[in-house]
Amino acid sequence: MDSQIIMSLLVLAAVLLPAWFYLRKNRKVDEQVARAFPKAWKKILLERVWFYKELDTDDRGVFEKRIQLFLATKHIQGVDTTVDDTVLLLVACSAIIPTFAFPEYNYPKVSAILIYPGSFDEEFQTRRYEGHKAFIIGMVGVPHQQGTVILSKPDLLKGFDGIPHPENVGIHEFVHLLDKADGAVDGVPEMLLNHQYVGPWLQEIKDEIKRIVAGNSDINPYSLTNNAEFLAVVSEYFFNHPEKFEKRHPELYALLARAFKTEEEDTEAEQNPAANS
Ligand SMILES: [Zn+2]
């Protein structure tokens, strides 16, 4: 064969093969999302995820499809521990709950979620011996593995035990990822907060920090670490125990409801300001 023809064929293959793999992958994802949502999965969600339980039938359907898309596009793997359907579902719920009002969002920069058998230290070891601290229960943006999230399995399960309470490490870590979507993990998620609400948000952080330091707040003092941790900690509380959060922290609640677009009227008013004038 003429060397020119061989070259042309090679160029053609270089163009067509990736396209073929891409289409094949997309078809596989479409097939997985189109499947009926397993009854056993519904049961797990109803027992553990009261955010899902509170949704109406239509929204439950949307939530289920989002779970299927997330699971079809992300790699979830246990490290020295098993990963069953409950763990898979709870990882997906952690990602979808804070972005439920953003139907197109599927964490483009996240590729893998590693499940650890327990809390771990800065060297990602879960070793246990006296005097050693393995206190990390979740992490995003692992230095050598961008796009990877790490979650401690028992803590993930504890966050979704079906009882409303302020702690949920899964939601905490995925909120860090939303914060990071604008390039900076700074507690000011530009993806969520319109410019005009950034000032009130920072002011609210300052006010609440004063209350926490004075011992007048039930928000976990870990939030004092920095603004990014503040956002992640209050978001856990906001999604995992909204009634109590609204009662105790009405100003923070209003700002977060606007940011995460959990209240429909606000979304409409923002999208079409003329309708209100
Ligand atoms: Zn954090």
Fold for 163-265, please state it. Collagenase (Catalytic Domain) (3.40.390)
Q: Residues 26-161: name the CATH superfamily.
A: Glucose-regulated metallo-peptidase M90, N-terminal domain (1.10.472.150)
In this model, does residue 108 exceed pLDDT 80?
Answer: yes
> What size, in residues, is the chain?
277
In this model, does residue 122 exceed pLDDT 90?
Answer: no
Residues 6 or more apart whose CB falls under 8 angstroms from that of 204 comprise 251, 252, 255
CA of 36 relative to ligand 1 center, distance in Å = 35
CA of 85 relative to ligand 1 center, distance in Å = 25
Detail the DSSP E strand segments found in the chain: 75-78, 112-116, 138-142, 145-152
In this model, does residue 126 exceed pLDDT 80?
Answer: no
The owner of tokens 């943006």 is 141
User: Which is more confident, 52 or 270?
Assistant: 52
pLDDT confidence band for 272 (50 / 70 / 90): very low
**30-41 burial by CB neighbour count: b if 16+ within 10 A, else e?**
eeebeeeeeeeb
CA of 204 relative to ligand 1 center, distance in Å = 19
> Per residue in 164-218, pLDDT tens?
999 999 999 999 999 988 888 889 988 888 888 899 999 999 999 999 999 999 9
- In sequence order, the β-bridge partners of residue 138 are 151
Angle between helical axes of 85-96 and 57-73 (0-180°, round to 10): 110
CA of 19 relative to ligand 1 center, distance in Å = 38
Neighbours of 157 (CB within 10 A): 16
CA end-to-end distance (rounded Å), the chain: 73
> Per residue in 34-53, pLDDT tens?
899 999 999 999 999 989 99
Residue 231: half-sphere exposure toward Cβ, Cα within 13 Å: 27
CA of 230 relative to ligand 1 center, distance in Å = 8
Task: Give me the mean pLDDT over the 115-135 stretch.
Answer: 76
- Please report, for the chain, the start and end positions of each structural domain, with discontinuous segments joined by +: 26-161, 163-265
- Record the pTM: 0.85
